[in-house]
Amino acid sequence: MGEAAVSIAVIGLGFMGRTHVGAYRAVTAGGVRGRLVAVADPALEPGSDRVPDSLADPATPGPALDLAGLATFDDARRMLDRARPALVSVCSPTDTHVEVAAAALEAGAHVLLEKPVALDADHIRPLAEAAARTGRLVIPAMCMRFWPGWDWLKARIGDGAHGRLLSLSLTRLGCEPTWSRAFYGNRRRSGGAIIDLHIHDADFVVHCLGMPQRVVTTGRPNHLTTVYRFGAERADLHVTATGAWLSTPGFPFRMRYVAEFERAVADFDLGRDPILLLTHAGVTEPVNLGDGSAYERQAAHAIRCVEAARAGRRLEAPTLEEAARVMRLLAAECESLERGEMVDTASV
């Protein structure tokens, strides 16, 4: 008889917490061996499945929240002690991530931890030490690695199916968040767009191409463009990323990449159908991206990572070392933005 399904809890029910709840419910309904058992948020009434107005406001982005059948807590530590989940999604504010994730580890849980893990790479080290001591996983939630079309791009860069990558431009634009203003409006807590939003593209650059040697960042913390420079083996590779929280309300979110290979160009645009087009040999065709959202794929993979850990195996997943590395890259970008000049990433 096999082990029981992986029990799951979510801490923090803001935009991302609600997204994690929906993703877990979708994948477990589809056959992945997990079971969402509990949620915790300071706004909840313990033991009640009523959704507080502060979490149910239709003006707040994110999927509708359904608490039916879940144990509800207003305190994360109390939830960890009573529900004893095997896997915990930590979706609390960034400046609580390390403390909350460490508490989950000490309670015996594996952790899927929303990004950024911390605003300072050095603050990630104690969490890595706690994971090693407890023998539990901490998986940074770098969702772009699971995003349909972005995983395709990583594979094509790796297999060279269309030749060598010549250029890559990444664009991520959205309105300045109007929810959780006390958090997002405070750069010392959220990091602003250069950290909270742009981290997705910075991580993806490192994931696909390795750590850039130098960066040049222009603009301002909430609207920036970075040029990434690599070593001699990729001296002619042109890679840029633009990220912004725009000040005008109502602007629809935009996410795009254009990747130029030696024999093809891939064009991803989230606001278009089909989302991914590939032009090669004079023909432009859509690319089949398969089923499931990035968040569902990420949730399913986290559950499978826990199952593998139970069996003494380790599946490939984002690591805390990679999370620290991308924070060092972002620190170099912040320094370049402040100084107005190129910065060597090894110097920060």
Per-residue model confidence (pLDDT) at position 1: 47
DSSP per position, 179-191: SSHHHHT-HHHH-
Strands (E), the chain: 6-11, 34-40, 71-73, 87-90, 110-113, 138-140, 165-175, 214-220, 223-229, 238-246, 254-261, 265-269, 276-280, 283-286, 343-344
pLDDT bin (cut points 50, 70, 90) of residue 179 is: confident
Residue pLDDT, tens place only, 308-340: 999 999 999 999 999 999 999 999 999 999 999
| Residues whose CB is less than 8 angstroms from the CB of residue 336 and which lie 6 or more positions away in sequence, other chains included | 215, 216, 217, 226, 342, 343
Residue 165 has phi, psi (to 5 degrees) of -70, 125
- 182 or 39, higher pLDDT: 39
Across residues 83-103, what is the average pLDDT? 97
Per-residue model confidence (pLDDT) at position 3: 77
SS3 112: strand
Across residues 182-196, what is the average pLDDT? 90
Contact by Cβ (8 Å): 214, 345: yes
pLDDT bin (cut points 50, 70, 90) of residue 51 is: confident
Contact by Cβ (8 Å): 212, 203: no
pLDDT bin (cut points 50, 70, 90) of residue 57 is: low
Contact by Cβ (8 Å): 216, 341: yes
Across residues 19-29, what is the average pLDDT? 96
pLDDT bin (cut points 50, 70, 90) of residue 58 is: low
DSSP strand pairing (214-220 vs 343-344): antiparallel
What is the edge-to-edge ordering of all strands in the sheet holding 138-140? 71-73, 34-40, 6-11, 87-90, 110-113, 138-140
Residue pLDDT, tens place only, 111-148: 999 999 999 999 999 999 999 999 999 999 999 999 99
- Inform me whether the pLDDT recorded for 46 exceeds 70: yes
| Structure-token pair, residue 263 | 């024999």
- 177 or 35, higher pLDDT: 35
DSSP annotation of 14 reads S
Global pTM? 0.95
- Inform me whether the pLDDT recorded for 107 exceeds 60: yes
Per-residue model confidence (pLDDT) at position 178: 73
Angstrom distances, CA of residue 114 to CA of 4, 118, 296? 26, 10, 14
Q: Which CATH superfamily is domain 149-289+327-347 in?
A: Dihydrodipicolinate Reductase; domain 2 (3.30.360.10)
Per-residue model confidence (pLDDT) at position 208: 97
Across residues 212-237, what is the average pLDDT? 96
Residue pLDDT, tens place only, 204-224: 999 999 999 999 999 999 999
Per-residue model confidence (pLDDT) at position 63: 59
pLDDT bin (cut points 50, 70, 90) of residue 345 is: very high
273 vs 343: CA distance, rounded Å = 39
Q: Which residues pair with 265 in a beta bridge?
A: 260, 279
Q: Angle at the Cα of 332 (from 146 to 195), degrees rounded to 5?
A: 45
Angstrom distances, CA of residue 71 to CA of 39, 80, 304? 6, 11, 23
Residue 142: is it exposed, middle or buried by C-beta count within 10 angstroms (0-12/13-18/19+)? buried
Q: What length does the chain have?
A: 348
- Per the prediction, the chain carries an average pLDDT of 95
Residue pLDDT, tens place only, 277-313: 999 999 999 999 999 999 999 999 999 999 999 999 9
Alpha carbon 318 to its chain's center: 10
Across residues 177-201, what is the average pLDDT? 88
Angstrom distances, CA of residue 312 to CA of 131, 304, 347? 15, 12, 38
**In the chain, where does the domain assigned CATH 3.30.360.10 lie?**
149-289+327-347
- Inform me whether the pLDDT recorded for 33 exceeds 60: yes
Report the range of poorest mean pLDDT among 46-50, 90-94, 168-172, 271-275: 46-50
For the chain, what percentages of helix, strand and coil (3-state, to nearest 5) are there?
Answer: 40, 25, 35
SS3 218: strand
**In the chain, where does the domain assigned CATH 3.40.50.720 lie?**
6-141
Per-residue model confidence (pLDDT) at position 194: 96
Closest among 84, 54, 120 to 328, alpha carbons compared: 120
Q: Which CATH superfamily is domain 6-141 in?
A: NAD(P)-binding Rossmann-like Domain (3.40.50.720)
Residue 3: is it exposed, middle or buried by C-beta count within 10 angstroms (0-12/13-18/19+)? exposed
